């Protein structure tokens, strides 16, 4: 890919993105349990792989939004995800859902990354 890029600044930016990709795979292994793909069928394997693919796209989107909104001065991708990970959603069959408290800080983070806060 870098053979076609003539601008050295752009080439350096792309090279540095490889770190994001490596960290993303590490995140998949740890946070999304992709370390062992123990599934009963090929269909389940493909489904799990698809979910991992979507998760990588979401991490890339979050990284882009963090870049554009200057969030890297206060957060890493992991610390931002950890901050938002404390929100929990519960629902029992036949009953209304319950959402844990969403703090003002969490609402602001959702706003900055361009996503509606859960309600």
- Tell whether 81 is covered by a domain: yes
Q: What is the pLDDT of residue 36?
A: 65
Q: Tell me, what DSSP letter sits at residue 96?
A: -
Q: Is residue 50 part of a domain?
A: yes
- Is residue 118 included in any domain, yes or no? no
Strand partners, 89: 99
Instruction: Report if residue 70 sits inside a domain.
Output: yes
The whole-number pLDDT of residue 45 equals 82
Mean pLDDT value of segment 2-17:
77
Higher pLDDT, residue 5 or 102 = 102
Structure tokens at 81: 């995800």
Q: Is 87 domain-assigned?
A: yes
Mean pLDDT, the chain, rounded, equals: 82
Domain that holds residue 45: 2-112
Packing angle between helix 104-112 and helix 77-84, nearest 10 degrees? 130
Does the structure show a pLDDT above 90 at 28?
no
Buried b (16+ CB within 10 A) or exposed e, 51-89: ebeebbeebeebbebbeeeebeeeeebeebeeebeeeee
Q: What is the average pLDDT across 97-102?
A: 87
In a domain, 117, yes or no: no
Q: Which residue has the higher pLDDT, 28 or 59?
A: 59
pLDDT band at residue 3 under the 50/70/90 scheme? low
Q: At what angle do helices 42-68 and 77-84 cross, to 10 degrees?
A: 110
Number of structural domains in the chain: 1
The answer on pLDDT for 51 being more than 60 is yes
Domain assignment present for residue 119? The answer is no
99 beta partners? 89
Residue at 69 is within a domain: yes
Tell me how far apart the alpha carbons of residues 26 and 96 are, in angstroms, rounded to a whole number: 36
Give the CA distances from residue 68 to residues 55, 63, 94, 104, 106, in Å, rounded to whole numbers and listed in that order. Answer: 20, 9, 42, 21, 18
pLDDT tens digits for range 54-82: 887 888 888 889 999 999 999 988 899 88
């Amino acid at each position: 890919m870098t053979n076609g890029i003539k601008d050295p600044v752009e080439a350096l930016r792309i090279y540095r993105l490889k770190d994001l990709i490596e960290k993303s795979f590490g995140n998949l292994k740890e946070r999304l349990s992709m370390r062992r793909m123990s599934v009963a069928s090929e269909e389940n394997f493909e489904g799990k792989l698809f979910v991992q693919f979507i998760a990588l796209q979401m991490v890339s989107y979050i990284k882009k939004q963090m870049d554009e909104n200057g969030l890297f001065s206060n957060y890493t991708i992991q610390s931002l995800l950890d901050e938002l990970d404390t929100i929990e959603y519960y629902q029992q069959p036949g009953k209304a859902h319950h959402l844990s408290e969403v703090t003002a800080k969490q609402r602001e983070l959702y706003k900055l990354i361009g996503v509606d806060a859960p309600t």
